[in-house]
Amino acid sequence: MTLTPSTLIPSGARTAFLEQAKQRILITDGAFGTEIQNFKLSEADYAGTLGLAKDQKGNNDILALTKPEVPESIHRAYFNAGADIAETNTFSANRISQADYAAEHLVREINVQSAQLARRVADEFTAKDGRPRFVAGAIGPTNKTLSLSPDVNDPGFREIDWDHLVDVYAEQVRALVEGGADFILIETVFDTLNAKAGVMSVRQVEKELGREIPIMMSMTLTDLSGRNLSGHTVEAFWYAIRHAKPLTIGLNCSFGATQLRPHVKTLSEIADTLIMVYPNAGLPNELGEYDEMPQTTAGLVKEWADHGQVNVLGGCCGSTPAHIAAMAQAVQGLAPRRTASPEVATRLAGLEPFIMAA
């Protein structure tokens, strides 16, 4: 039998999430990379006893195997700050990115362990107060792009192809779901075609398992005009991936809340699903550090909540548990955004959105 969306076992996590989102603005967690940097880990800490051929310094994902107490403590800190969602520490836990560390063969183990760790902590906090906590299996864009050539002298050249990237993502998705992730978060999307490959991988794994795997999706902008690296505007990106029926759509990374303000407004007005935004803690200073204070960030994202533009808030680069706590406090009691109900029309996307006239 060919499985279709109607024959898949529905996701209980989707139902629970939507129910919570009707009641309040939910909170996702903050940055992992900058929090890990605070531990001042040595290369030996990262490498552990795995005996890998390359230097592991900076391979944050491998800590699930070599120093799991680090990501676990970060998950706990964010839940204590008020987070409803734990994003797994697996942004680069895919075959392509792990090749830089000669750790491709550990991809499944990294993802399973990372998801299990987040699941365990989430369930522990739920057991304390009965409030549902969720785990989003994070998959990053990789360091390759399907839409653009890395060689200016050969515009048609691609380092990878569609089938390869779908296979790479599917390996990660299987492991995250096996480890207990509720959703798959396709985040920091700089190439819309890469995101579509992520969607395809989830659909493949759904068929294999016979059950629904909800998708969360988050775009990252590369300039203030509101485009990603592959050139799509926020509107065009939404029309290009709306068929995936994501649980949430939103923006993360690149900029702080101030720079994202007009683009959050735009997305909020057109998306018939939940909006999740997790900006950086402002813009980095000349040393690459983030100076924006928690209360400042919280005040900026509260403006979105005041205008009924968001359903889920959190932080990206530079954000800390203090930032998440300040956000949670700032939006407590504020009504969540009401999902947009755009008129039925044929909506297409090149680099710009196109709505076909009736």
User: No. of H helices and E strands in the chain?
Assistant: 13, 10
Confidence of residue 307 (pLDDT cuts 50, 70, 90): very high
Neighbours of 25 (CB within 10 A): 24
Confidence of residue 254 (pLDDT cuts 50, 70, 90): confident
- Say if residue 290's pLDDT is above 60: yes
Rounded to a whole number of angstroms, the distance between the first and last alpha carbons of the chain is: 38
Q: What is the model's pLDDT at position 1? A: 41
Q: What is the model's pLDDT at position 319? A: 98
**SS3 letters across 6-36:** CCCECCHHHHHHHHHHHHCCEEECCCCHHHH
Contacts of 343 (CB under 8 A, 6+ apart): none
Which 3 state secondary structure label does DSSP give 248?
A: strand
User: 10-52: per-residue pLDDT in tens?
Assistant: 999 999 999 999 999 999 999 999 999 999 999 999 999 999 9
Strand order through the sheet with 183-189: 26-27, 312-313, 274-280, 248-256, 215-219, 183-189, 134-139, 85-87
CB 59 within 8 A of CB 42: no
Tokens representing 127 are 């057991």
Q: What is the model's pLDDT at position 5? A: 59
- Say if residue 223's pLDDT is above 60: yes
Strands 134-139 and 215-219, bridge-based pairing = unpaired
- Say if residue 4's pLDDT is above 80: no
- Say if residue 3's pLDDT is above 60: no
Tokens representing 50 are 């795995």
Confidence of residue 98 (pLDDT cuts 50, 70, 90): very high
Give me the phi and psi of 345, to 5 degrees please.
-160, 160
- Looking at the whole model, is its pTM more than 0.85? yes
User: 232-248: per-residue pLDDT in tens?
Assistant: 999 999 999 999 999 99
CB 298 within 8 A of CB 334: no
3-state class percentages of the chain: helix first, strand second, coil last, to nearest 5: 45, 15, 40
- Say if residue 314's pLDDT is above 50: yes
Confidence of residue 347 (pLDDT cuts 50, 70, 90): very high
Neighbours of 154 (CB within 10 A): 9
User: Which sign does the torsion angle of CA 260, 248, 234, 140 carry?
Assistant: positive
- Say if residue 201's pLDDT is above 90: yes
Residue 137 CA: distances (Å) to CA of 96, 134, 181, 185, 187: 17, 10, 5, 6, 10
If you average pLDDT over every residue of the chain, what do you get?
Answer: 96
Residue range 243-268: average pLDDT?
Answer: 97
Percent of the chain with pLDDT over 90: 93
- Say if residue 89's pLDDT is above 90: yes
CA 276 – CA 9 distance, rounded (Å):
25
Confidence of residue 77 (pLDDT cuts 50, 70, 90): very high
Neighbours of 22 (CB within 10 A): 10
CB 314 within 8 A of CB 278: yes
Stated as kind and residue range, the H or E segment containing 357 is: none
Please state the length of the chain: 358
Task: Please list the alpha-helical segments (H only) found in the chain.
Answer: 12-23, 33-37, 43-47, 63-66, 69-81, 95-98, 107-129, 162-179, 192-209, 234-241, 257-270, 294-306, 321-331
Q: What is the model's pLDDT at position 287? A: 87
CA 195 – CA 189 distance, rounded (Å):
6
CA 49 – CA 183 distance, rounded (Å):
31
User: 152-196: per-residue pLDDT in tens?
Assistant: 999 999 999 999 999 999 999 999 999 999 999 999 999 999 999
Q: What is the model's pLDDT at position 205? A: 98
Tokens representing 230 are 């592959």
CB 168 within 8 A of CB 143: no
